Amino acid sequence: METTTANIEKVDLSRFNNSWYSPGASIFKRSTWFFINAIFFINPLNPFNGLKTALLRAFGSKIGRGVVVKPNVNIKYPWKLTIGNNVWIGEGVWIDNLAPVFIGDNTSISQGALLLTGSHNYKNVEFDLMVKDINLEDGVWIGAKSIVCPGVTCRSHSILTVGSVATKDLESYFIYQGVPAEKKRKRIMN
């Protein structure tokens, strides 16, 4: 049986309008950050961690002590980023923070992970932009190549394993795995 799409609504990207959205900074600040991000963060040849944390602070990030930002990290808007103490951000991490991202103390975000605060309303023909905060509480570990979706809170000491996708909140002291991530077992610490 053939389905006809003649009378069914279709996505029309020419009608996309995110004029309601504000990145929270002037065009000059956003443009300047674009180049700083490309030269000092995305560039895999910059190993100077102290310079990176100083630049993040200069652009409005709240950064704790002992933060390590490895090379090839992409940060959309540093003024929407809060990082606690002793946080590790691995190579190739992308913090696509159209909305605020909060990273608690002693949190590790492994290589290639993606923190994604934006999505689109697939039910609307205009494909509206939707943004929600991400909150990684203290002691969280986001595994390599994992994705944390908009609006997700990873509670204290939860783990999202390699290649997993968190589409809903993770409970404290539990390990999550899969696409979408499911609770697998308790995190027991010595």
Q: What is the pLDDT of residues 32-51, one digit of tens each?
A: 999 999 999 999 998 899 99
> Could you tell me if 172 and 183 are in contact, meaning their C-beta atoms sit under 8 angstroms apart?
no
- Range 138-159 average pLDDT: 98
> Could you tell me if 119 and 149 are in contact, meaning their C-beta atoms sit under 8 angstroms apart?
yes
Q: Which residues pair with 108 in a beta bridge?
A: 88, 141
> Could you tell me if 173 and 187 are in contact, meaning their C-beta atoms sit under 8 angstroms apart?
yes
Mean pLDDT of the chain: 95
Residue 1 predicted with pLDDT over 70: no
The dihedrals phi and psi of 135, each to the nearest 5 degrees, come to -130, 115
Residue 92 predicted with pLDDT over 90: yes
Residue 156 predicted with pLDDT over 90: yes
Please tell me the predicted confidence (pLDDT) of residue 8.
85
Spell out the residues 6+ positions from residue 105 whose beta carbon is closer than 8 angstroms to its own.
64, 84, 85, 86, 87, 138, 139
Please tell me the predicted confidence (pLDDT) of residue 7.
72
Please tell me the predicted confidence (pLDDT) of residue 47.
86
Q: Quick count: other Cβ atoms within 10 Å of Cβ 78? A: 24
Q: What does each C-alpha distance from 58 to 51, 62, 98, 126 come to in angstroms?
A: 10, 10, 19, 36
Note the CATH number of domain 49-186.
2.160.10.10
Spell out the residues 6+ positions from residue 158 whose beta carbon is closer than 8 angstroms to its own.
137, 140, 141, 170, 171, 172, 173, 174, 175, 176, 187
